[in-house]
Amino acid sequence: MSTAVDLRDPSTFPSRRVEAWKYTDLRRVLRETPPPSPAIKIAPGGPFASLGGEEIAFANGRAVGADAFVASGKQTLRLRFVSDATGTGHSASVRIAVKPGAKLTLLESHEGAGAGYVANYRIDLDVPAGAEVTRVVLIDEPSEAISVAAAHVKTSPGAVYRQTTITGGAKLQRQETHLAHGGEATEVTLDGVYALSGERHTDLTSVVRHGGLNGVTSQLTKGVVRDTARGAFQGKIVVERGADGTDARMGHHALILGERAEVDAKPELEIYADDVQCAHGNTVGNLDESALFYMQQRGIPADEARALLTQAFLFEVVDRIDHEGAREVVRSWLTARL
């Protein structure tokens, strides 16, 4: 997982023979460096526009203004990755720093138009002592897009970091989070929601490395797949030697609503410390038949009952987003998709 994809170098495109990419065969859909995407003009906005704050945007990989941000005090930043291209590729990387004690709401959107573009992003984020970051990532890409994004997050003692990724998938899509969980009493929430239909694919991969004492990680990912869609979840938690008192919990739960849909899950715990509480749970199933009948018995037609149950299933994760405005945006985005 450490080898980063570089669009300029096809030898960095992993195939499923690479263990960490076994559910996401990038090489199968991308063999050569794609021609560069054209420059495009975009207006400020995006799905979180109504929530205000500062905006940093990348249009087909090009920074519209600044390509880095330093948060201080209490701030909202809308980080937008906008793609509008067909058959071309682009990359971008952004560094976000937070001052100690600052509170940042990072509303990130991956907004895609066109078809068949290839996008590759890297985000570096430092959360220092006493800082609090809530990152909400909403990924809305066309069914022909290919995208790989990796966030590298470093947390320091007493920091709070909450992340929720919400995605509708693409032709091939991967969202990686690499989190260095540092120091005393750092709290991390790492959540995800995927709702896939058609032939869409997504892969939510995370590696959390606990290096300090008494760190807390709570991870909940839920997904729904229909038709021939494929969802993959790979969650790895490493508790390093000396990271005693770590409390890490990981859950992944998926509903398979299409006979040819597929979900692959790989939860991993590696523990080298003492006095650690770690747990993971993983379930894959269908909607509860008795709940469906109960709802229909009360007059709710079958399709509506299914949608309501599916929505309720996913909203458990959405309800954990610690920002009311973002929660509402995500709720309506998901509702429109179900």
Partner 1 sequence: MLSISNLHVTIGDKPILKGLTLDVPAGEVHAIMGPNGAGKSTLGYALSGRPGYEATEGTVSWQGQDLLDLEPAERAAKGVFLSFQYPIEIPGVPALTFVRTALNAQKRARGEEEVSAPAFLKMVRAASSALKMDFDMLKRPLNVGFSGGEKKRMEILQMALLEPSLLILDETDSGLDIDALRIVSEGVNALRSPDRAMLVITHYQRLLDYIKPDRVHVLAGGRIVASGGPELAHQLEAEGYDKYLPQAA
Burial letters 152-176, b for 16+ CB under 10 A, else e: bbbbbbbbbbbbbbbbbbbbbbbbb
The Cα 146–Cα 170 span in angstroms is: 6
The site string for partner 1 over 147-166 (x = CB under 8 A, - otherwise) reads --------------------
Which of 79/330 has CB closer to partner 1? 330
The Cα 88–Cα 35 span in angstroms is: 5
Q: Does 272 bind partner 1 (CB under 8 A)?
A: no
The Cα 245–Cα 184 span in angstroms is: 10
Using CB under 8 A, count the residues that bind partner 1: 23
The site string for partner 1 over 275-294 (x = CB under 8 A, - otherwise) reads -------------xxxx-xx
Instruction: State the minimum distance, in angstroms, from the CB of residue 213 to partner 1.
Output: 35
Q: Which of residues 292-331 bind partner 1 (CB under 8 A)?
A: 293-302, 304-305, 308-309, 311-313, 315-316
The Cα 233–Cα 265 span in angstroms is: 5
Neighbours of 275 (CB within 10 A): 10
Instruction: State the minimum distance, in angstroms, from the CB of residue 218 to partner 1.
Output: 18
**Beta strands in 259-302, from DSSP E residues, in sequence order:** 262-271, 277-285
120 residue type, one letter: N
Query: What's the gap between Cα 131 and its chain centre?
Result: 21
Which of 253/323 has CB closer to partner 1? 253
Instruction: State the minimum distance, in angstroms, from the CB of residue 293 to partner 1.
Output: 5
Q: Which residues bind partner 1 (CB under 8 A)?
A: 288-291, 293-302, 304-305, 308-309, 311-313, 315-316
